[in-house]
């Protein structure tokens, strides 16, 4: 039996990270690789109570088919919550998605033709590249520094006519993979380029609530509301296993995204939407999220202290994130992350080689470290093992 596959299927490949994560699941490995929120932060008791109340009081509706747009009280909560980011949106602009990953899939379907140019950060979120790939874009990396994309390079790469980029995909807060955050000035400059060139922004903000000392600057979407799609998620402030996210789109785009949503899975599980709406009642997030921030800040500081201690004199550089889940390491010249990973796993520690995150021109001497899954003790032990692997690699060069 010969299956004739679609052309796009040939372009889809197994996730490199997925393969790496399999290696890191070996027992005894301390993993800085996965982007798994700490399960300590999952509000299990609140979920138990909310599930019980939803099924007791409203079980029939919670288990029935529902509107593709999402559950109205949840859409209202989202619209209200976005005020804190300077966004003034109607609940009618909110579409509940099956994780924010689905928002990327819907955006790709609606905005990308085969061969369309799209612009992404350097490096960028791998899951977004995977969501866009089936629609066969040409993904172009915009030069980026510690504050995100360079506005001048962004302007230079917008293009015109049929060659004009369909959108720029940006993750301004505690970016995956680098952990970097766009400053107020950079946001203003990037929004200005987008407005002047009519370039749509796809703004992904799964980590925005995970700030350590101060919230990040207002969103890009607040500066360019008619030209932006904003993606949000409950995965990092409640729990990823619910697969609950949302997008906010301007009225010009919303109906097509809604049709794509309906065709994709009819609607996001009504049960999950109602349970989360129940959990969110009465200001739960305001009490809960500070506990996540405190935990991740402590673990980030432990990782930075361990880097300072263990990596002194080895020629590495790294950034100091002000929130989120990740930090980004530049290895000394000539040391490549993929061979280093083999040696690190031998010594009981894992990370993700940075080269997985580039649309083009991968820097093979970078790596991503997650500071949220491992405990402080594990961070100390793991970083010592990683330093040993690096020393060994350097001496063998």
Q: Smaller CB distance to a second copy: residue 99 or 353?
A: 99
Among 81, 133, 288, 381, binds a second copy (CB under 8 A): 133
Among 77, 87, 105, 304, binds a second copy (CB under 8 A): 105
123/17 Cα distance (integer angstroms): 15
Cβ 158 to a second copy, closest distance in Å? 12
Stretch 26-45 residues interacting with a second copy (CB under 8 A): 34-37, 39, 42, 44
Partners of 292 in beta bridges: none
Is 198 a binder of a second copy (CB under 8 A)?
yes
325/37 Cα distance (integer angstroms): 8
Distances (CA, A) of 283 to 280, 299, 316: 6, 26, 43
Q: Smaller CB distance to a second copy: residue 85 or 116?
A: 116
Interface mask (CB under 8 A) for a second copy, residues 148-187, using x and -? Answer: ----------------x-x---------------------
Q: What is the largest CA-CA distance in the chain?
A: 66
Q: Which range, of 46-54, 168-176, 215-223, 304-312, touches a second copy by CB under 8 A?
A: 46-54
Q: Which range, of 79-87, 99-107, 179-187, 353-361, touches a second copy by CB under 8 A?
A: 99-107
Cβ 230 to a second copy, closest distance in Å? 15
Q: Smaller CB distance to a second copy: residue 144 or 235?
A: 235
Q: CA 394, 313, 30, 214: dihedral to nearest 10 degrees? A: -140
Interface mask (CB under 8 A) for a second copy, residues 257-286, using x and -? Answer: --xx-xxxxxxxxxxx--------------
Q: Smaller CB distance to a second copy: residue 201 or 385?
A: 201
Q: In the numeric block, which tokens belong to residue 176?
A: 């995956």
Q: Smaller CB distance to a second copy: residue 100 or 393?
A: 100
Is the backbone peptide bond immediately before 230 cis, with ω within 30 degrees of 0? no
Q: Which range, of 141-149, 246-254, 299-307, 376-384, touches a second copy by CB under 8 A?
A: 246-254
Stretch 300-339 residues interacting with a second copy (CB under 8 A): none
25/11 Cα distance (integer angstroms): 27
* Total residues in contact with a second copy, by rule CB under 8 A: 87
């Amino acid at each position: 039996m010969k299956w004739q596959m679609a052309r796009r299927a040939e372009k889809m490949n197994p996730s490199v990270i997925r393969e790496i994560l399999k290696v890191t699941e070996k027992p005894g490995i301390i993993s800085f690789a996965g982007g798994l929120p700490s399960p300590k932060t999952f509000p299990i008791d609140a979920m138990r109570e909310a599930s019980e109340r939803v099924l007791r009081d409203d079980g029939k509706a919670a288990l029935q088919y529902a509107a593709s747009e999402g559950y109205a009280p949840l859409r209202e909560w989202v619209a209200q919550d976005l005020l804190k980011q300077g966004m003034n949106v109607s609940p009618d602009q909110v579409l509940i998605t099956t994780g924010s990953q689905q928002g990327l899939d819907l955006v790709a379907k609606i905005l990308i033709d085969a061969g369309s140019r799209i612009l992404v950060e350097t490096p960028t979120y791998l899951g977004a590249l995977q969501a866009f790939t089936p629609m066969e874009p040409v993904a172009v990396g915009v030069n980026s520094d510690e504050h995100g994309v360079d506005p001048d390079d962004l302007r230079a790469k917008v293009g015109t006519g049929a060659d004009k980029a369909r959108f720029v995909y940006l993750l301004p807060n505690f970016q995956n993979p680098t952990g970097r955050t766009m400053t107020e000035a950079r946001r203003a400059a990037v929004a200005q380029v987008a407005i002047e060139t009519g370039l749509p922004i796809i703004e992904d903000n799964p980590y925005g609530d995970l700030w350590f000392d101060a919230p990040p600057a207002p969103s890009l979407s607040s500066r360019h509301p008619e030209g932006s799609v904003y993606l949000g998620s409950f995965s990092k402030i409640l729990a990823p296993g619910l697969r609950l996210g949302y997008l906010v789109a301007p009225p010009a785009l919303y109906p097509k995204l809604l049709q794509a949503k309906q065709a994709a899975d009819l609607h996001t599980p009504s049960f999950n939407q109602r349970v989360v709406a129940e959990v969110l009642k009465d200001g739960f997030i305001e009490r809960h999220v500070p506990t996540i921030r405190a935990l991740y800040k402590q673990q980030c500081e432990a990782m930075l202290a361990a880097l300072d201690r263990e990596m002194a004199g080895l020629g590495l550089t790294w950034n100091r994130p002000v929130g989120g889940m990740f930090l980004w390491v530049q290895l000394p010249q000539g040391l490549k992350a993929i061979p280093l990973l083999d040696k690190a796993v031998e010594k009981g520690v894992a990370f993700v080689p940075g080269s997985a995150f580039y649309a083009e021109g991968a820097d093979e001497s970078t790596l991503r470290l997650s500071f949220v899954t491992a405990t402080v003790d594990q961070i100390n032990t793991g970083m010592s093992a990683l330093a040993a692997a690096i020393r060994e690699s350097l001496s063998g060069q």
